[in-house]
Amino acid sequence: MTITPNLTPNLTEVVFYDMLVNYLISMARTVEGAMNRAIDALVELESPRTQALPGEVFLTEPHVNEMEMRIDEHAIRLLRRATFSDDEMRLIVATIKITNDLERIGDLAVSLAERAVSLRAMGAVEAPEDLWPMAAAVRAMVSKSLGALIFRNAQMAMQVLESDDMVDRYRDRIFEQLLARMTEHSSRVTPGLQFVLATRHLERIADHATNIAEDIIFWVRGLDVRHGRALVLPPPEIPEVPDAPEVTENSHCFHPDVNSAV
């Protein structure tokens, strides 16, 4: 006779919510890996090491789509439950939004990989000077978003929001560089347009990383910081400490706590 363990409802609910977070982290890691492979293929066009990376990104996309649907199904299953706390409700709402942004980052990784394939087929092309630092900034934003998700760290998520403007500046500077090159030499128009599209993909990935960071802050702190609202996080609440009794030169004789400790 098999004995089924009698799980209490509270324990079962904890397991369900932990599963949701674990699914979300797994999807985030998969998407980050696909994005990193696509960026490597783009910034190292002439390296034999990166030649096969776009194909790996293409193969990952269906897996990411499947993970998104499974997480949404699990979140909806939790929504059907009768009761949940404010924190649990924020987690469910944030998860549904984060999975959408992760799926979009996966799609943009595919687009980046396509740009890398097209540029590699053109032979030796000159990449914009700021492409590598822009790619590094985008990597850092996605990595910090994942770290904020794993550790439920609102301050780390805040750092992601602060980096978004820097990526936009890189995009604008690269566009100006490419426009000058294409104006001077017509042979640079075709690769230049591919790089313009690539920087647009990178900028969009940064936007989705920002959305994820905003949703993590909403989940952890219950604050809506979208569109620049409440960008300065309030410090964590500290419990009030009762005022200490007035101390005089005779306090050691009359204060019962001090006398008992002597």
162 pLDDT higher than 80: yes
Name the more confident of 180 and 247. 180
Domain count, the chain: 1
234 pLDDT higher than 60: no
CATH, residue 124: 1.20.58.220
173 pLDDT higher than 90: yes
Q: Go through the chain and tell me how many residues it has.
A: 262
pLDDT of residue 248: 43
pLDDT of residue 225: 87
Across the chain, what does the average pLDDT equal?
85
Domain that holds residue 174: 9-226
Q: What is the pLDDT of residues 215-224, one digit of tens each?
A: 999 999 988 8
231 pLDDT higher than 60: no
116 neighbors 54 (Cβ within 8 angstroms) = yes
51 pLDDT higher than 80: yes
Token output for 234 = 């309030």
Distance of alpha carbon 254 from its chain centroid, rounded? 59
In a domain, 42, yes or no: yes
Instruction: With CA atoms as reference, report the closest residue to 34 among 153, 116, 133.
Output: 116
Crossing angle of helices 86-121/189-221, nearest 10°? 170
59 pLDDT higher than 90: yes
CA dihedral 223, 226, 229, 230 (to 10 degrees): 30
In a domain, 91, yes or no: yes
Give the C-alpha separation, 45 to 2, whole Å: 59
pLDDT band at 240 (very low <50, low <70, confident <90, very high): very low
pTM: 0.82
In a domain, 243, yes or no: no
Name the more confident of 226 and 33. 33
187 pLDDT higher than 90: no
In a domain, 231, yes or no: no
Q: What is the pLDDT of residues 192-201, one digit of tens each?
A: 999 999 999 9
pLDDT of residue 52: 96
Give the C-alpha separation, 262 to 254, whole Å: 12
Q: What is the 3-state secondary structure (H, E, C) of the chain?
A: CCCCCCCCHHHHHHHHHHHHHHHHHHHHHHHHHHHHHHHHHHHCCCCHHHCCHHHHHHHHHHHHHHHHHHHHHHHHHHHCCCCCCHHHHHHHHHHHHHHHHHHHHHHHHHHHHHHHHHHHHCCCCCCCCCHHHHHHHHHHHHHHHHHHHHHCCHHHHHHHHHHHHHHHHHHHHHHHHHHHHHHHCHHHHHHHHHHHHHHHHHHHHHHHHHHHHHHHHHHHHCCCCHHHCCCCCCCCCCCCCCCCCCCCCCHHHHCHHHHHHC
67 pLDDT higher than 90: yes
pLDDT of residue 244: 42
Q: What is the pLDDT of residues 98-128, one digit of tens each?
A: 999 999 999 999 999 999 999 999 988 889 9
HSE of 87, CA atoms in CB hemisphere, 13 A: 7
Q: What is the pLDDT of residues 130-161, one digit of tens each?
A: 999 999 999 999 999 999 999 999 999 999 99
Name the more confident of 12 and 89. 89
pLDDT band at 82 (very low <50, low <70, confident <90, very high): low
In a domain, 59, yes or no: yes
In a domain, 136, yes or no: yes
What mean pLDDT is predicted for residues 71-88?
A: 86
